[in-house]
Every structure is written in structure tokens, then in C-alpha cells.
């Protein structure tokens, strides 16, 4: 049987948050393209499941009604939160909540965060792709990529058998193990900008905050790492643990075993999990963090999300930064389409635009990586315990972040 042949000007590999976002905004500009993913949606994706203000900001650009009707209005799939709880190495709890004039702001009033399984959230994004503009090829795995002149040839297999896609422009939104990255010879792990993490869904975790605060614990026994408990609907939680890869390698740490031991032996966590039940086996993944300035563009190609190493290095959050990159990519491609020029020079400032919201976090992470672990724990205890820091974060910074996410257009500069 002859393979099915598709010819397109733009092809996106990967329909996760970054790829789906790029597709959605290309559709809004009427730019026809193909988007391919090996999975059938909805599908699970190993992740912390936190949706930050970058995510909310992009969703408001897609459709302002999404937050109210599809996230806040769907309590079976999405949990809204107005802040987070730090649990310090010394065991002290520090709650940071956005403040209104009469105290903490209700979670229904412009939530700061949502928590949702990727099973639900990614499916929501894919459902927003306009099939009248985009050719959506799910359950389709690309096996080989070749380039001749300015033409990319993709060979793979879909539900109906073998498939060949010919495209002039290729977008790699296919994650940390990106096939596009491998083709470009750039799939290299930089341990100084990489982390290892595990996730496990639990039910019945005790001591969850009534306002669904996202919890981050810095265990004293394992500095330069953090343990999280993020509240999900119906009494469940995304529980996980992450650590910098260079520290893992230097100290020969097994992250999975460290996670299990913390739950069993850490005095802060023992009472939280004494009556809790795991809902799945432990799942692990690698986190390509922003900071190595991986080149994310070239003649006839772009990288998005994890493929471009865009996970925030201080929080480990990658959904929002990936979606921002999808939005920025669509803007650059709209300009390239209008000028009928997809050469490398049209994307010269693409790296700057996808990284500019991460530069402060990159600097902080480099500083943290260069201090002794003991000093890190002491610093966390000292800084997060101060009244001034808590006041600034709750009353000043968080208000600015929320206002930006809900009211300001994402600024993309080409020159």
C-alpha cells in the first residue's frame, strides 16, 4: 500500500501545550498547517499539573471565557488557588496569598493558579484547534526526518497506515526527547540546567489548606530540592519531588527512592500521609530548564516548549512558558507568512522573545547552584520567614502578576 501523502507549508510535531497553542494562534490568523502527535487525546502526561499565570495569560488571549467557564466552572477537572504554602527546612509554614482590601482574595476572583491533570488540560487545548484551518493528525508517530534543500520530509505511521508529510517549515514541539532536536544534532542534556523529578497521584493527604494553596516543602535532609503537594479535585493531590541533575549526579541520589523515603521518614510528611493512598505507581521524567540558551530557530524551523528548554528553573513550571513560546512562534510565523520569507533572518530575535520572561529566574538559579547546600537551607529559612518578603509578595508582586495575566497583551517584538 502506498503511504498517504500530505503537503503543507507548516508542520508542527507535538500537540502538547506549546504545540497546541502555536496551532490555535496560527488558526486565528488563517494560516493553514498540519499538527501531528503520537497520542490520542485525552492522554496522561507526567507533570506537576500546576497552571501558573503565564498559562492563564495565554488562555485569556485564546478566549477570555475559558477561565470562567471551562476552568473555574469545571470543579471536577480544575482546582483554583490564590496562593502557595512554603514549608521551610525547619518545618515552619509560610502561607502566601494574594490580598484584597478586606483580607485574602477569594479563589474565584481571578485565580492565581489552577491545578489540573494534563489528561484534562491538554485535551482542552487540543479541542480549541480549528479543524477548518489545521489538519490535526493524532495517533500519528513520525519516525524519520530528512531535509533536502528547503524541503522537509517526514515519514511516519498513522491510524490508516504509513504517512509522508512534505513541509517547508518544521516546528518541534515534541518535548525533551524531541525528534526534531535529534535531527538537528542538538539533543544534549546540560546537567547544570536540568532536573530529575517524580510524580505520584494520592488521595486522602491530610492537612491540605482550605483555600487550595499549592504546597512546596524544602526538606532539610536533601537541600537543593523540593517536595510538592498540589491539590486536585475530589480530594486528590499531585505529589512529587524534584532535584537539580548536577546535585543528583554529584551525590549519587536516586530521586525515586528519596521520594519514597521522605514520605515514610520525614517528620513533616509522616502525619500527612499516614492515612493517604497512592493512586498510581511512581512516574519519573527529566526537566530541561531554561538557562543554556539553546538555539531555538533556524532556516525553516523553530523549537517550542521543552524542546527549546524553556522550563522555569526556579519553579520547575513548564506549561506556561511553553504556551508563551507557542504564542510567540505564531506571531513570528504570521509575519513570515505576510512577507513570504521563512529564512533564518526572520526569526533572529525569537530566542530573546521566548526567554525574556525567564531571565530573572535564570540568574537566581545560577546563584543558587553556586552556593553550598547548607547556605541554601539557611537562606530559604531566613528569606521566606521575613515579614517584609511575605508582605511584598502578597501585597505587591502578586497583584502585579495577576493584573498582567488578566489584562495585558503579550508583547512580541521582532526587531
Would you give the DSSP letter of residue 149?
Answer: T
- pLDDT of 333 above 50: yes
pLDDT at 105 exceeding the cut of 60 = no
- Mean pLDDT within 102-109: 55
More confident residue, 395 or 286: 286
Q: Which domains does the chain show, CATH number per domain?
A: 4-62+118-189+292-364 (3.50.50.60), 82-105+192-288+371-409 (3.30.9.10)
Q: Which pLDDT score is estimated for 100? A: 52
- Percentage, residues of the chain above pLDDT 90: 82
**What are 237-293's pLDDT values in tens digits?**
999 999 999 989 999 999 999 999 999 999 999 999 999 999 999 999 999 999 888
Grade residue 101 by pLDDT with cuts at 50, 70 and 90.
very low
Query: What distance in Å separates the CA atoms of residue 222 and residue 254, rounded to the nearest whole number?
Result: 12
Residues 247, 245: Cα–Cα separation, whole Å: 5
Minimum mean pLDDT among 226-230, 232-236, 324-328, 376-380: which range?
A: 376-380
Is a pLDDT exceeding 70 seen at residue 104?
no
Contacts with 380 (C-beta within 8 Å, 6 or more apart), sequence order = 88, 89, 218
Distance CA 14, CA 178 (A): 9
pLDDT(183) > 80:
yes
In this predicted structure, the answer to whether residue 387 has a pLDDT above a threshold of 50 is: yes
Q: Averaged over 345-363, what is the pLDDT?
A: 95
- pLDDT tier at 2, thresholds 50, 70, 90: confident
Nine-digit cell string for 20: 497546541
Can you tell me the mean pLDDT for 174-187? 90
Average pLDDT of the chain, as a whole number: 93
Element (H, E) at 239: strand 236-244
Residue with cell 483554583: 80
More confident position, 76 or 373: 76
Average pLDDT over residues 41-65: 96
Q: Regarding beta strands 99-100 and 151-158, do their DSSP bridges make them parallel or antiparallel, or are they unpaired?
A: unpaired
**Number of other residues whose CB lies within 10 A of the CB of residue 106:** 13
Q: Answer yes or no: is pLDDT of 155 > 80.
A: yes
pTM exceeds 0.85 for this model: yes
pLDDT score for 396? 87
Report which secondary-structure segment, H or E, holds 18: helix 17-28
Nearest to 34 by CA among 169, 174, 176, 160: 169
3-state SS assignment for residue 292: coil
Query: How do residues 277-297 score in pLDDT, each as one tens digit?
Result: 999 999 999 999 998 888 999
How much is the average pLDDT of 160-177? 96
pLDDT score for 106: 54
The pLDDT of residue 102 is 47
- How do residues 25-47 score in pLDDT, each as one tens digit? 999 999 999 999 999 999 999 99
**Cα–Cα distance between 403 and 86 in angstroms, integer?**
23
pLDDT at residue 78 above 70?
Answer: yes
Amino acid at each position: 500500500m502506498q503511504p498517504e501523502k500530505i503537503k503543507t507549508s507548516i508542520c508542527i510535531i507535538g500537540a502538547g501545550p506549546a504545540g497546541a497553542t502555536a496551532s490555535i494562534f496560527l488558526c486565528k490568523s488563517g494560516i493553514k498547517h498540519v499538527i501531528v502527535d503520537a497520542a490520542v487525546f485525552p492522554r496522561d502526561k507526567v507533570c506537576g499539573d500546576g497552571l501558573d499565570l503565564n498559562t492563564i495569560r495565554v488562555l485569556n488571549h485564546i478566549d477570555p471565557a475559558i477561565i470562567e467557564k471551562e476552568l473555574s466552572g469545571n470543579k471536577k477537572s480544575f482546582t483554583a488557588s490564590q496562593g502557595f504554602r512554603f514549608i521551610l527546612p525547619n518545618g515552619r509554614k509560610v502561607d502566601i496569598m494574594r490580598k484584597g482590601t478586606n483580607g485574602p482574595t477569594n479563589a474565584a476572583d481571578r485565580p492565581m493558579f489552577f491545578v489540573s491533570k494534563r489528561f484534562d488540560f491538554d485535551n482542552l487545548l487540543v479541542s480549541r484547534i480549528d479543524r477548518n484551518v489545521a489538519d490535526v493528525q493524532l495517533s500519528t508517530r513520525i519516525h524519520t526526518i530528512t531535509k533536502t534543500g528547503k524541503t522537509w520530509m517526514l515519514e511516519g505511521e498513522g491510524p490508516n497506515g504509513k504517512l509522508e508529510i512534505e513541509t517547508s517549515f518544521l516546528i518541534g514541539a515534541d518535548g525533551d526527547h524531541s525528534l526534531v532536536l535529534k535531527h538537528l544534532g542538538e539533543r544534549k542534556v546540560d546537567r547544570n540546567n536540568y532536573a530529575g523529578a517524580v510524580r505520584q497521584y494520592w488521595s486522602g493527604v491530610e492537612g491540605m489548606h482550605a483555600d487550595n494553596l499549592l504546597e512546596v516543602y524544602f526538606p532539610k535532609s536533601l537541600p537543593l530540592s523540593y517536595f510538592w503537594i498540589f491539590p486536585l479535585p475530589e480530594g486528590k493531590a499531585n505529589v512529587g519531588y524534584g532535584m537539580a541533575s548536577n546535585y543528583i549526579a554529584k551525590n549519587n541520589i536516586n530521586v525515586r527512592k528519596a521520594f519514597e523515603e521522605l514520605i515514610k521518614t520525614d517528620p513533616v510528611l509522616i502525619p500527612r500521609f499516614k492515612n493517604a493512598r497512592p493512586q498510581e505507581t511512581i512516574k519519573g521524567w527529566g526537566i530541561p530548564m531554561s538557562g543554556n540558551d539553546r538555539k531555538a530557530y533556524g532556516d525553516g524551523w523553530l523549537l517550542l516548549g521543552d524542546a527549546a528548554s524553556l522550563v522555569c528553573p526556579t519553579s520547575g513550571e513548564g506549561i506556561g512558558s511553553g504556551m508563551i513560546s507557542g504564542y510567540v512562534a505564531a506571531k513570528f510565523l504570521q509575519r513570515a507568512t505576510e512577507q513570504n520569507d521563512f529564512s533564518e533572518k526572520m526569526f533572529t530575535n525569537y530566542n530573546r522573545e521566548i526567554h525574556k520572561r525567564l531571565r530573572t529566574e535564570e540568574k537566581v538559579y545560577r546563584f543558587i547552584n553556586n552556593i553550598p547546600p547548607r547556605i541554601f537551607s539557611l537562606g530559604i529559612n531566613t528569606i521566606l520567614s521575613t515579614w517584609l518578603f511575605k508582605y511584598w509578595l502578597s501585597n505587591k508582586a502578586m497583584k502585579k502578576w495577576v493584573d498582567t495575566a488578566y489584562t495585558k497583551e503579550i508583547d512580541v517584538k521582532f526587531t
